[in-house]
Amino acid sequence: MKENNENLIAQNRKARHDYFIKETVEAGMALTGTEIKSVRARRITLKDGYVQIINGSAFLENVHINEYKQGNRYNHDPLRSRRLLLHKKEIRRLAKAQEERGITIIPLKVYLKHGFAKVLIGVAQGKKQYDKRETIKKRDQDRELRRKYKF
């Protein structure tokens, strides 16, 4: 999946450092008027967010969308849970994956696609400290090889 960088709103950069991403799914978000205006203004933080499956519905929890400056009394709660728009089959697959031990579902990116806010969620398994060190070591080795054999 490729999207333009100007459509990318927010990215969870620590996700690939802290987790092994097994699978990704694109989902829509049910947002209020002031929320979508704040998202378009890039006022969203995915850092501590996660997805929770409740009664056959997926909800995005703990994602902070700042209040819209001109929203006055119609503003939203910045940390409210937001419903994700997914097919039933996708929700069932995610719920089954979430039941496994050590698996969590996290938001990776938020972007605009055809004017709608979409979130890329990932089924993730947490890394141990030695896994993180291994990943850093491998990345540094690849970088050195590319420098050495640059054409």
What is the structure's pLDDT at 151? 61
User: Average pLDDT for residues 68-78, to the nearest whole number?
Assistant: 77
Whether 3 shows a pLDDT value over 60: the answer reads no
What is the structure's pLDDT at 5? 60
Look up the CATH superfamily of 8-148. Answer: Small protein B (2.40.280.10)
Whether 34 shows a pLDDT value over 90: the answer reads no
Can you give the residue ranges of every domain in the chain?
8-148
Q: pLDDT category, 69, cuts 50, 70, 90?
A: confident
What is the structure's pLDDT at 25? 92
Q: What is the pLDDT of residues 138-150, one digit of tens each?
A: 889 999 998 888 7
User: Average pLDDT for residues 76-103, to the nearest whole number?
Assistant: 89
Pairing, β 82-85 against β 116-126 = unpaired
Mean pLDDT score of the chain: 86
Whether 4 shows a pLDDT value over 60: the answer reads no
